[in-house]
Structure 1
Amino acid sequence: MTDDAVPDLRASDADRERVAEILRDALAEGRLDMAEFEERLDATYQARTYGELAPITRDLPAGNGVAVPPVSLHKEPAPTEGWAGRIVGGEGSSTGAVAVMSGFQRKGRWTVPRKFTCFAFWGGGEIDLREADFADREVEINCIAIMGGMEVIVPPGVEVVVRGVGIMGGFDHREEGVPGDPGAPRVVVTGFAFWGGVGVERKETWAQRQRLKEERQRLKEERRREKLEREAGRRELDGSRHDLLGDLHGRHDPHRERRRGDTA
């Protein structure tokens, strides 16, 4: 493996945490404001390769001067263990869903079959795959929307292929072209939309959002504590300066010297 291949290697959670630590240090040192920090932290947790992580800290000191997290060039990363546990084989929890002037949802922990067919007429549906298991490495979501709409939500790391057709309607192709994690399932969205639409969106899992929320809360508390400490230090410094000035003023008060002479 050559050095040119490093940016294409998949980043691990530990790699993302190292970049997040650099961002936290930069925030504490005043190199980043809170808006910049949150924007870069979001990009960090969404990054899938070293090439995506590198620009996030390129303009920041990283201790050792290396923006890309260290990686051995003689060992392939192995982020596939989590996906392997979610490709369970067998049959799916359900093979389809129907919404006629109503709606449906498939979300939470469920098993996506090799082919899932859904139909919506004057209605809508949501197919959420973020917490789902998969019956096979490649699954097909066949969406038929007539004067209705559907939303397919996939987690980061899953490859998406959209083959649907829109007739006075549309299929969302924005998530195509993003490479998937090694060992991750491939989701193929097919079907057609007539006076309707099928959206495909990539979202973080609940655990990832919760981790980001906790990170922001922790940083908010740290900033509040640092502000209180600075204010306490400033008050202490002002008090010491006031005492010192008062002492110096007393030593050089001409009236005080004259009073001392009258007393003598």
Structure 2
Amino acid sequence: MTKPELQPKPQSSHAPVAEAEMRVSDADRERIAELLRDAYAEGRLDADEHAERIGAAYAAKTFGDLVPLTRDLPAHRSVSFAKPPLDAPAPAPAPAAARPPMPPARHESPSVVAIFGGASRKGRWRVGAQLTAFTAFGGVEIDLTDAVFESPEVEITVTAIFGGVEVRVPENVTLLGSGVGIFGGFDVREQTAADPYAPVVRVKGLALFGGCEAKPRRGKKLKEWVRKQLGTD
């Protein structure tokens, strides 16, 4: 009696994924973006390099896309991503005192418009080099205290007609103004930040039978852009 032939064991279809091909999370993208902002504030990247790498960081799909963005920066060695093996046990819950990760900043339109109503821009959102606020018989609120600055200088152009625009900035940025009030008021409480690397916010425009007020919010400091210069984590 002949012995039956032994059939080869089928190979598993779940081959391990190479580290560079693993998908990244929003928290991973944000971690790299913060390192790039610090590098730009320190003068390690110029404006074009910073803009190009920031865009690539938020468009990254895998760890292989992220790693080259900080490879030539001193902080590269400290970048780590949590990638437990597929068969690893679930990690223990974080201690109650641990600070939760910040949510990704929102993409928003560079224009805020309010006509016979109100509009606001606040919370954790990305602000670029240009921002426009227009109101007619309404009100606009722009709060930059928790925003992520993606440019060293932000210019806000205001047009307020029978309405009002309110701008709030962190207390550790430079605030400048050059607006005109006609039968209205254009009040910018200017200040110069002690840190030479701090962003500059310029508020300009027109208030016609309306008003614009821009001032720092005490107790609120920008951390996303000048974190290292301020000595905070």
Q: TM-score, normalised by structure 2?
A: 0.49
Q: TM-score, normalised by structure 1?
A: 0.43
Higher Rg of the two aligned structures: 1
Looking at secondary structure, tell me which structure has more strand per residue. 2
